[in-house]
Structures are given as structure tokens and as C-alpha cells.
Structure 1
Amino acid sequence: MNRVVPYRGFEIHVALALVAENMSNMTFQIMGHNISRTGLDGAIIPGRRGPFTQRWAYLTAEIAGQDAVDVLIGPEV
């Protein structure tokens, strides 16, 4: 199961992998802008402390991706 979340000009690609009934592990990727100059464009980042329910996995991945973007380009002013 995949989802793309737009955030501050970037795309956060979330992927879930079913590991048990109603439980999934999640990964996310950050794509966009000129992030490739840092060598991170397309790096797959796994979630920790899983597995999660599907709803919780999507939320966790989205928030982690947004935090990563904020670290890369700074806080919104």
C-alpha cells in the first residue's frame, strides 16, 4: 500500500508492508527540489518500533517525513 503526501514542495512517499493481520511496517522516501545534492533523494527510511496498524503507520510516516523536510530546509517563517 502506497501513498504520496505533498509537503512544502516535496513529496513524501509512504509504503506499507503487511507483516501480520492488520499490522504493517512502514518506510518513507523524500523526493523533490534539489535534495539530490545531499545524496538523500530517494533514500528509503524504515520506521522503527513497528509494526503498526495501517492508520498509525501512515500517520507516523507522514510526520517523520515532514520532520525530515523541516530539518533539510529549515522551519517555516
Structure 2
Amino acid sequence: MQRTVSYRGLDIYIELRPTSKDMFEPWLRIDGPNQDARTAAFGTLIKVRGGPYSRRWAYLVAEIAGQTSIDLIPGPEG
């Protein structure tokens, strides 16, 4: 199961991988026009820790993890 969420001009790609009945491990990748080489999440699927989760929680946890990662990306100074 896959979903893409836009946040601050970047896309958070979320992929859920089933582990057992109705339980999933969330993975995320951040895509955008300005990919900073210092940020590992750009273009690479990263497993979100703490799972497995129900489908609803897996999407929520992955979206929050992706948003937090984007918030930590250094922006232009000024």
C-alpha cells in the first residue's frame, strides 16, 4: 500500500509492508526538487521504527516522521 503526502513543497512517499494479518511496517522516502545530499531520506526508502502498526497508525506514524525529517532539513540562511 502506498500513499504520497505533500508537505512544505516536498513529497513524502509512504509504503506499508504487511507483517501479519492487518499489521504493517511503514517505510518513507522524501522527494523534491532540491535534494540535499546531507539528508539521507531523499530518494531512499527508510524504515520507520516502532512497528508493526495497524494500517491507519502506520500511515500516521510515517507521515509524522516524514514531516519531522523535512522540518529538520536546513533551509537557506537569512
Rounded Cα–Cα distance in structure 2 between residues aligned with 1:24 and 1:47? 11
Which has the higher mean CA deviation after the structures are superposed, 58-67 or 43-52? 43-52
RMSD of aligned alpha carbons? 1.4
| Superposed CA offset, 1:13-66 (max 9, x none) | 000011111100010000002124436321111011110000000000000000
Q: Which runs of 5+ in 1 are unaligned?
A: none
Q: Percent identity?
A: 41
Amino acid at match of 1:19: T
Q: How many pairs were matched up?
A: 74
Q: Which runs of 5+ in 2 are unaligned?
A: none
- 2:18 counterpart SS class: strand
TM-score of the two chains, using structure 2 as the length reference? 0.86
Residue pair 2:5, 2:11 contacting (<8 A) in 1 also: yes
TM-score of the two chains, using structure 1 as the length reference? 0.87
Rounded Cα–Cα distance in structure 2 between residues aligned with 1:71 and 1:39? 9
Structure 2 counterpart of 1:46: 47
